[in-house]
Amino acid sequence: MSRPKRLHLYIDGKAQKAISGKSFANFNPATGAKLSEVDQAGRRDVEKTVQAARRGFQEWSAVTGIERGRILKKAADILRERRMDLAEIEVKDTGKPIAEAPEADIDSGADAFEFFGGLAADIKGTHHDLGEDAFAYTRREPLGICAGIGAWNYPLQIACWKTAPALAAGNSMIFKPSEQTPTNAGKLAEILTEAGLPKGVFNVLHGSGETGHYIAIHPDIDKVSFTGSVPTGRKVLADAAGSVKHVTMELGGKSPLIVFDDSQINNAVSAAMNANFYTQGEICSNGTRVYVHEDIHDAFVSILKSRTEAMVIGDPMDPATHVGSLINADHFEKVMEYVRLGIEEGAHLVSGGEKVSVTGCEKGSFISPAIFTSCQDDMRICREEIYGPVMSIMSFRDEDEVIARANDTEFGLAAGVFTQDLSRAHRVVAKLRAGTCWINNYNLTPVGVPFGGYKQSGIGRENAAVALDHFTQLKSVYVELGDVECGY
Ligand code: NAD
């Protein structure tokens, strides 16, 4: 699979040039090399795509569930066959390590197609017995045209998590990947066509926020499923409100990871590292507020520091690399600004937080994983999403106290609890206001387990059967078997 020099839009089953005539460049964050010139969809491109998607919907929604599922499962097989090629593309687009991408990105995307492909034939309504003279039933019907708008950290996975349930339910999809990471959405379109998907059912529009805005306001698009930051999510919600669209919002977070004094300390340290430094910390559900019980605080920090300093920061294409490049220079500056801010606010920088030069990737944005201790709940580094490898550690004494502190945020995407005490684990998790919680681990998202946020971290759930509810609507049908009663 060779990388295209020019990325076109994908509309009606084939790559097409943008009517807008505009384009933008896509760069490898680690090397600065230009990867491709990408067509940018304008208003007329969106219009054309909506028409293709409407035709695609008419055809696809008439296909039986078992046949839809067969095509989705074929797509899962092709994704797996091309796993390493797709992973390399993802690494070049995102700057993340190749040690992560095959499993975390490609397998997770393939799992979604396999899982929802298996459910497609089982989408069904209910039957309601209303006595001898009547019954009612419900039909679970597709919404029509669904749009997906993605973030840059897990480009293919996000596309798959949205597209697989949408298509399983009989919808068509218009997907706009992040302008930072456009490549694999086009590859997914080719794979779906190869798997037998009718034309117009999956379409890709490239572009930045302007293109996303045209999609979100379009009156003939029935749903928008968005993954990105809270501020952008608010704009998309407001745009979707104009035509009262269905919405799914997968937004940002500032999640707590609570480590009690009876924890298995090496496992807790492993989880804290996964929860902060995997994918250079560019993960929405990261547990960036680490609350460690005061009795084990110093031991925890000492083990964490030495293990973190052994992490390999390097060329993302090198299988030995643990920490790759941040997505771009602007984001790097933002993360470094937070490191400076943490020091100014009085937190103690125990390790990292420095620019790192990587041989062969001199133009990349590499930062050594940063660990802050002596953090306070009201510091900005403990309240705002940094979206880089910056961990803030706070100590606590009491269970109720730490629950209150963990919940004191406008976000509610995820949370983690480490303890050997079974009762305490479940008691604490029940009180945490977060959509996805882990006990004695962190950041695992196996297909079948719903993923999504409380509070400002989101609306709706992905990656599980319940996502089908968000891509369908319910029709109730009352059936009269007797005479019609009429009082006049
Ligand atoms: P972002 O909000 O800047 O952009 C996300 C997408 O929205 C991009 O495709 C962008 O082009 C588009 N966009 C921008 N302005 C728009 C507008 N006005 N209308 C429509 N679309 C618009 O986010 P990002 O920087 O790409 O990603 C990082 C953020 O995503 C973080 O906050 C992270 O927590 C969040 N995220 C959440 C999840 C989740 O599942 N909850 C997963 C990954 C990332």
CA distances 291 to 130, 406, 463, Å, are: 54, 8, 28
CA distances 147 to 41, 53, 211, 266, 421, Å, are: 14, 10, 12, 43, 44
Choosing from 229, 236, 280, 462 the residue with most ligand 1 atoms within 8 A of its CB, the one to mutate for a pocket test is 229
Residue minimizing CA distance to atom 42 of ligand 1:
284
Distance 230 CA to ligand 1 centre (A): 8
Distance 37 CA to ligand 1 centre (A): 21
Choosing from 227, 247, 457, 470 the residue with most ligand 1 atoms within 8 A of its CB, the one to mutate for a pocket test is 227
Distance 247 CA to ligand 1 centre (A): 14
Q: What angle is formed at CA 331 by the lines to CA 328 and CA 336, rounded to 5 degrees? A: 120
Distance 151 CA to ligand 1 centre (A): 4
Rg for the chain, CA atoms, rounded: 24
Residue among 193, 6, 183 at smallest CA distance from 87: 183
Choosing from 221, 232, 247, 249 the residue with most ligand 1 atoms within 8 A of its CB, the one to mutate for a pocket test is 232
Please state the rounded mean pLDDT for residues 474-480: 98
Distance 168 CA to ligand 1 centre (A): 24
The percent of residues above 70 in pLDDT, for the chain, comes to 99
Residue among 424, 435, 477, 441 at smallest CA distance from 459: 435
Q: What is the pTM of this model?
A: 0.97
- pLDDT, tens digit, for every residue of 203-237? 999 999 999 999 999 999 999 999 999 999 999 99
Please state the rounded mean pLDDT for residues 432-450: 98
Choosing from 254, 284, 386, 463 the residue with most ligand 1 atoms within 8 A of its CB, the one to mutate for a pocket test is 284
Residue minimizing CA distance to atom 12 of ligand 1:
209
Residue minimizing CA distance to atom 15 of ligand 1:
209
CA distances 259 to 218, 283, 393, 398, 428, Å, are: 46, 20, 10, 11, 11
Q: Which residues line ligand 1 (CB under 6 A)?
A: 149-153, 176, 178-179, 208-209, 212-213, 216, 227-229, 232, 235-236, 250-253, 284, 385, 387, 413, 453, 458
- Tell me what pLDDT residue 203 has: 99
Ligand 1 atom having least distance to the Cα of 207: 11
- pLDDT, tens digit, for every residue of 245-257? 999 999 999 999 9
Distance 229 CA to ligand 1 centre (A): 5
* pLDDT of 465 higher than 80: yes
Banded model confidence at residue 5, pLDDT cuts 50, 70, 90: confident
Ligand 1 atom having least distance to the Cα of 284: 34
Distance 149 CA to ligand 1 centre (A): 8
The percent of residues above 90 in pLDDT, for the chain, comes to 99
Distance 232 CA to ligand 1 centre (A): 6
Residue minimizing CA distance to atom 19 of ligand 1:
213
- pLDDT, tens digit, for every residue of 191-211? 999 999 999 999 999 999 999
Ligand 1 atom having least distance to the Cα of 177: 9
Please state the rounded mean pLDDT for residues 139-155: 98
Residue minimizing CA distance to atom 13 of ligand 1:
209
Ligand 1 atom having least distance to the Cα of 453: 41
Ligand 1 atom having least distance to the Cα of 229: 32
* pLDDT of 386 higher than 80: yes
Ligand 1 atom having least distance to the Cα of 179: 11
Residue minimizing CA distance to atom 16 of ligand 1:
209
Rounded Cα gap, residues 249 and 240, in angstroms: 11
Active site residues: 162, 250, 284, 462
Residue minimizing CA distance to atom 31 of ligand 1:
229
Please state the rounded mean pLDDT for residues 373-382: 98
- pLDDT, tens digit, for every residue of 110-130? 999 999 999 999 999 999 999
Ligand 1 atom having least distance to the Cα of 457: 41
- Tell me what pLDDT residue 4 has: 54
Mean pLDDT of the chain: 98
Residue minimizing CA distance to atom 20 of ligand 1:
212
Distance 385 CA to ligand 1 centre (A): 13
> Which residues, including other chains, have CB under 8 Å from residue 474's CB and lie 6 or more apart?
125, 138, 139, 140, 141
Residue minimizing CA distance to atom 43 of ligand 1:
284
